[in-house]
Amino acid sequence: MPSTTGPLVTSDRVHAARSLAAETGTDLLVLTPGSDLRYLTGYHAHAMERLTALAVPRAGEPFLVVPRLEAPMVGVSPAGALGLDVLAWDETDDPFALLAGAATARLGAAPSRVAVGARTWAEHALGVQRALPGSTLELAGPVLDRLRMVKSAAEIEELALAGAAIDRVHARMVEFLTVGRTEAAVGADIAAAILEEGHVGVDFTIVGSGPNGASPHHELSDRVVQAGDVVVIDIGGQTATGYRSDCTRTYVVGGSTTPDVAEWYAVLHAAQQASVAAVRPGVTAEQVDAAARDVIADAGWGEQFIHRTGHGIGLDSHEAPYIVAGNDLPLVPGMAFSVEPGIYLAGRCGARIEDIVVCTEDGVRSLNGGPRELVELPG
């Protein structure tokens, strides 16, 4: 079905980056293959030793520096429709000198403040710095995060499609999560289902059974799922457009929920509901964190909630804004992030409930469905 929200990538993005660079006093942005480059241009380039970079000077037109053998790929990507200058370099050329010269020509002087993406390879960042010896190197986050934090309607549609796809995987958990299977075997089936249900890549499969559920990033092991186990399933993938899913549900396998587990899980459920309900424009990220944390702490489980409440999501599974104490950033419509409080009992079990939500003009929209209660599977 064609999108009704417009294209994902337009020239407005790179022009907005240029305006923000000027506003922050940054002379030049240099963005190599990764989510920042894909966000601004739609070009999903392969990271390697050959330099590919989008250069955005604070004045003058942005341009792409690419190996000549990859220049045709730019033309057939969404970047080809943006009208960017493409400077192709040959194997014996110095691409860093090419970039530095073109940026200097556009600015009328060599840039003094140069910002690179947080995940730029060190050899590329240092190559830029060597080509501009009078410059200082810093991170592009203050510019790119401001743009990427607020999703367009088209981006929210992509996140909603990703969320619905991961919900379908959770709905099939009875097929995979049974007594007598190892976490690794369960995880392999889940990974296959992530692809079957509409993703093109698997980002992670966490299957934390019994005591392993007390480790929030446990992933997989050869532990065999036992009757009565509490099992944390945190899974996510990426769609063809690069947008991500991330959803956690907690299950009891081959047995009924014990009264003590039911008691503290009810606290967790209430905390997650309170945190989601707190989301609206003007509320700060740390207030959303506190809405969950206060419920858990007031019930006596505060020391068992050992991580932030959430993280932004988009072309990366983890990106700004971060829903954590100390982040006084006010929410605005279009911000998308996880709400995922957890309670972890070392040596015994753990639980987490995670939804991706979007701040709207008048409140919040959840991009995940399915039960948030502790789900009992027959085993």
Per residue in 310-358, pLDDT (tens digit) is 999 999 999 999 999 999 999 999 999 999 999 999 999 999 999 999 9
Domains of the chain plus CATH, in order, are: 11-147 (3.40.350.10), 153-377 (3.90.230.10)
The whole-number pLDDT of residue 266 equals 98
Give the phi and the psi of residue 177 in degrees, each rounded to 5.
Answer: -95, 95
Ranges of residues in the chain with a pLDDT under 70 are 1-6
Please report, for residues 18, 110, 224, the alpha-carbon distance to residue 340 in angstroms, rounded to integers and kept in the order given. Answer: 35, 46, 26
The model scores a pTM over 0.85: yes
Supply 268's token pair: 């967790």
Whole-number pLDDT of residue 379: 76
| The predicted structure's pLDDT at residue 174 | 98
CA distances from 150 to 100, 109, 147, 283, 337 (A): 31, 33, 6, 15, 10
